[in-house]
Amino acid sequence: MPAVQVVPFAEGHVEPAGRLLAARHASHRQAVPLLDARFTRASDAVAEVASVWGSDGASGAVALVGDDVVGYLLGAPRDAAMWGPNVWVEAAGLAVTRPELSRELYARAAQEWVERGRTAHYLVIPAHDEALAWAWFGLGFGQQHVHAVRGVPDPRHELPAAGVRLAGTGDIPVLALLDRELPRHQAASPVFSSGPVPTVAEAEAEWAETLPDHTFACFVAESDGAVVGSAIGCPLDLSSLHTPLMRPPHAGFLGFAALFEPFRGQGLGRALGEAVLDWCARSGFQAVATDWRGTNLQSSRAWPRLGFRPSFLRLHRVVGY
């Protein structure tokens, strides 16, 4: 087998890296046909790699056999207040002709990242590629997050389902409390997320802006006349965590769902999810996406039962322990 040379990523590597990404995406679409076919075109895939390379602080490595690029890894930092001293390898930041090359690429790129003090590493990979996932598991990474998609259902003639209705301005006080439920739930075991919990005043102010905006659809679930849960639907392109390569065309997004703890496990979460799915269908979307922490036991069971199938996985490693 010809020798592989691993060198730092440079401007001249963008185009051949994009061609590799287009081939990876074509393979990915065989497993997840809802993904956007345009990124199987080299020109569109090259543009995605160029966008990552143009990010502040971007760096990485490429694997060469002679003059041919056979793999690349490219990362850039996100907001440290949210993600720690980090580097993110987004969905367009990795493509290899064989999974084992990932290990060589990471060994080269991560040296610089850690020397800069960026010790929290995040990586988004196609969910169907078990061999690629195992290569990264061998580098100390574990699954943190799941991105999933499904087609839209046939629209219902009646909406909403029993116990679920569209939210109104009078619901803002309880919606603000529900906004705090998800981060508080995920701060507990076994998720242990450090995501910020908004104050009630902050959440109420955001709802006062969001609720009149018909880009969003907010549903609430009631029990004995009291609001006990909520869910939000919107266009997927409003989600910053779903980069273009991850978005099916014309897709809606189940962006949030929460229930007060005493009302979980009673079918209200499913009813809220179904209401968002139906809104997506009636709004003309052709697919629906959502995402969840893999360690959130409720979400990791509820959303697959609604027909969502993993499309990408986010892996995570913290260096130094």
Is 280 among the domain residues? yes
Residue ending a domain, choose from 94, 115, 140? 140
Is 107 among the domain residues? yes
pLDDT band for position 46 (cuts 50, 70, 90): very high
Is 92 among the domain residues? yes
Number of neighbours of residue 252 by Cβ within 10 angstroms? 25
Tally of structural domains, the chain = 2
> What ranges make up the beta strands (E) of the chain?
5-8, 59-65, 68-75, 86-89, 94-96, 120-126, 142-151, 164-166, 217-223, 226-235, 251-259, 287-293, 309-318
In the predicted structure, residue 162 carries a pLDDT above the cut 90: no
pLDDT at 16: 98
Q: Does one domain contain both 136 and 12? A: yes
Tell me the pairing of strands 59-65 and 142-151.
unpaired
Residue ending a domain, choose from 140, 159, 191? 140
DSSP state of 97: S
pLDDT at 158: 57
CA distance 105 to 111: 10
CA distance 241 to 293: 13
pTM: 0.94
pLDDT band for position 157 (cuts 50, 70, 90): low
| pLDDT tens per residue across span 283-293 | 999 999 999 99
320 torsion bin: left (phi>0), alpha (psi -120 to 50), beta (else): left
Q: Does one domain contain both 127 and 167? A: no
Q: Token pair of 201, please?
A: 């005043």
| pLDDT tens per residue across span 57-86 | 999 999 999 999 999 999 999 998 889 999
Q: Does one domain contain both 101 and 79? A: yes
Q: Which residues have C-beta within 8 Å of that of residue 299, sequence separation ≥ 6?
A: 257, 292, 293
Q: Does one domain contain both 31 and 122? A: yes
In the predicted structure, residue 195 carries a pLDDT above the cut 60: yes
In the predicted structure, residue 294 carries a pLDDT above the cut 90: yes
Q: Does one domain contain both 97 and 72? A: yes
Is 146 among the domain residues? no
Q: Does one domain contain both 284 and 168? A: yes
pLDDT at 29: 98
CA distance 313 to 295: 13
Q: Does one domain contain both 124 and 175? A: no
Q: Does one domain contain both 47 and 20? A: yes
HSE, side-chain direction, 13 A CA sphere, residue 108: 19
Is 195 among the domain residues? yes
Q: Does one domain contain both 130 and 170? A: no
Q: What is the CATH number of the domain that holds 184?
A: 3.40.630.30
CA distance 21 to 11: 16
pLDDT at 161: 60
pLDDT at 321: 72
> What ranges make up the beta strands (E) of 30-106?
59-65, 68-75, 86-89, 94-96
Q: What mean pLDDT is predicted for residues 107-124?
A: 97
Q: Does one domain contain both 132 and 72? A: yes
Residue ending a domain, choose from 119, 140, 161? 140
Domain span including residue 90: 5-140
Tell me the pairing of strands 217-223 and 226-235.
antiparallel
Dihedral angle at the C-alpha atoms of 55, 58, 64, 70, nearest 10 degrees? -50
Q: Does one domain contain both 135 and 161? A: no
Q: Does one domain contain both 111 and 61? A: yes
> What ranges make up the beta strands (E) of 106-216?
120-126, 142-151, 164-166
CA distance 173 to 184: 17
Is 321 among the domain residues? no
In the predicted structure, residue 47 carries a pLDDT above the cut 90: yes
Is 319 among the domain residues? no
- C-alpha separations of 255 from 252, 263, 277 in Å: 9, 20, 11
Is 45 among the domain residues? yes
At residue 179, what is the residue type? D
In the predicted structure, residue 296 carries a pLDDT above the cut 70: yes
